[in-house]
Structure 1
């Protein structure tokens, strides 16, 4: 049985974790195990958190994903598209780590990970989060699953990490954060990765409004699906549409896509004062010493932004 949100749409299966969160962990693990140097992200905990069990199992999952996309074209093109998905998943997490590190000099006080899934930042980057209160926010079923995965993998939960249960479509975020101990008067670093596309427009806007109400200097990093990517046509359009079909079958349908101008207007209207969209070239120059072989991604598909209150 699947839950339905207030708009009547299917959401996560009742009592079951996010399957897309599992896929993302597999992608991060595959990159860590197989990507050439310089690696985009070094997520040594992705494999144990995924529960896949072995490098061979991770490869088997990746082979299955590539096989599904081969239905749209040839095997080589499918490999390119899947590699781009993996690259984007790793790059968005890398941006979070870099931006969070830079924010510490501004006096950042707490971190809120919206839709945390199997994110491992707080467990890998303990020096980075030292002295910060970290709140992982997610659906109760996904959160219970993650805590079990942490226990099974003998990964210690830092004392400054707390879990906040929240359903983006059925609860008020401000109330959930307050109940979870997040202090609205503290400068806060928000991460919102791989989430907005599964929410209604109303839920996205209300989330922006809550984040934009935090003190000056607060910051948010998010990724998004842009119609610019889909409208390029051909394999790209077919692949994105097919990806949407796959995640819908997992119970997490894609509901929102935004042009950059739309997102900027929404964020500015919500209280943010500066929005920066990160191009593929900027990411390569900033984090990979200009070596684009490690990040094969067209600009229109990068879709990562930072916004500051």
Structure 2
């Protein structure tokens, strides 16, 4: 069995870790939480479910997040802040009348079930078969009824073209869409990122993509840098290595060459400052993680571009 097939034969562990970070938001008072994700804990293995539940007990409420932050400084804070960032942009896209939402590498993302008003649009969840299979089984246990407008699209972006699977699943290139690509590009090969962005550029005017990426320098020094050495060991242990990074200074030209126009690009410190105490210890580390918003190039869409840009400032 090939290396790629071995990895796709099981659900993603990193997807579970990110769900764990979201579940830990319930350890904080309601007024301090960045979002409410009641589904996150349902996607966890038993040990992480126990840790998540313990975090809601007053005695352990601060201890569990503290230990998580000690093991991977900045990872949890960066993860939940980017979740809130994307939630906000998705909500505003829905308010502006977006008609389709595509979640690439959806993992244990629960936006299709917890974001207000999303039920009126068609949502496509795209991920590898095993992760989607596990997710659907867990969702059946918690959803009273199947959401009619959610389509699961089995796709390994490293070996399949998104256009082949997404169009077959019913995606309409003539209707504006909001693409979410969270925590995925750094696990792909360059060709997969290239082909995916080029396909997204063919979407209807008014379409946008919000994606996260890792600074290429961090990818190149992952095993040797003191800041990322522990991340490297964890990724090696679970066999989910980081393989692709981007250079922020080169991003505008890179996107232009792929038929997209950069709206904004922010690092994890910047988007953590937006939602968290800017002087807290959670601001340390993970500076190499970034989030970018891009539009499908269309000269007539300038008013909508200004709308999206306003939420980055």
Q: How would you bin the TM-score normalised by the shorter chain?
A: 0.7 to 0.9
Residues 161 and 294 (structure 1 numbering): CA distance in 2 closer, same or farther, change over 3 Å? Answer: farther
Superposition pairs of residues 127-166 of structure 1, within 5 angstroms:
127-154=116-143, 156-166=145-155
Task: Decide which moves more: 299-308 or 90-99.
Answer: 299-308
For 1:296, the equivalent position in structure 2 comes to 283
Structure 1 residue aligned with 2:14: 20
Corresponding residue of 2:92: 102
- Report if the CA contact (8 A) 1:137-1:165 is conserved: yes
Secondary structure of 2:120's aligned partner: coil
Q: Whole-Å Cα distance in 1 between the matches of residues 100 and 78 of structure 2? A: 25
Residues 294 and 160 from structure 1, CA distance in 2 versus in 1: closer, same or farther, beyond 3 angstroms?
Answer: farther
Structure 1, unmatched stretches of 5+, are 62-75
TM-score normalised by the chain length of structure 1: 0.80
Contact kept, 8 Å, 2:227 with 2:285, in 1: the verdict is: no
Distance 1:215 1:82, change over 3 A: same
Q: Counterpart of 1:207?
A: 196
Partner residue, 1:30: 24
Cα pair distance change 1:86/1:59, threshold 3 Å: farther
Q: 2:43 aligns with which of 34, 49, 54?
A: 49
Question: CA RMSD of the aligned region, Å?
Answer: 3.2
- Partner-residue secondary structure (3-state), 2:102: strand
CA offsets, 1:259-296, max 9 Å, x none? 112333221211112331124565356545x7554952
Match of 2:305 in 1: none
Q: Are the equivalent residues in 2 in contact too, given 1:111–1:189 (CA < 8 A)?
A: yes
**Offset, 1:203:** 0.9
The CA distance in 1 between the partners of 2:128 and 2:289, in whole Å, is: 26
- Superimposed CA distance per residue, residues 94-120 of structure 1 (whole angstroms, 9 cap, x where no aligned partner): 111111122234331100000000111
TM-score by length of 2: 0.79
Match of 2:33 in 1: 39
> Quick one: distance in 1 between partners of 2:44 and 2:145?
16
**Large movers: runs of 4+ above 6 Å:** 230-233
Measure how far apart 1:208 and its partner are: 1.0
CA distance change for structure 1 residues 169 and 54 in 2, over 3 Å: closer, same or farther?
A: closer
Contact 1:212 1:271 in 2 (8 A): yes
For structure 2, which runs of at least 5 residues remain unmatched after alignment? 56-65, 297-313
> In 2, are the aligned partners of 1:137 and 1:164 still within 8 Å (CA)?
yes
Aligned length: 286
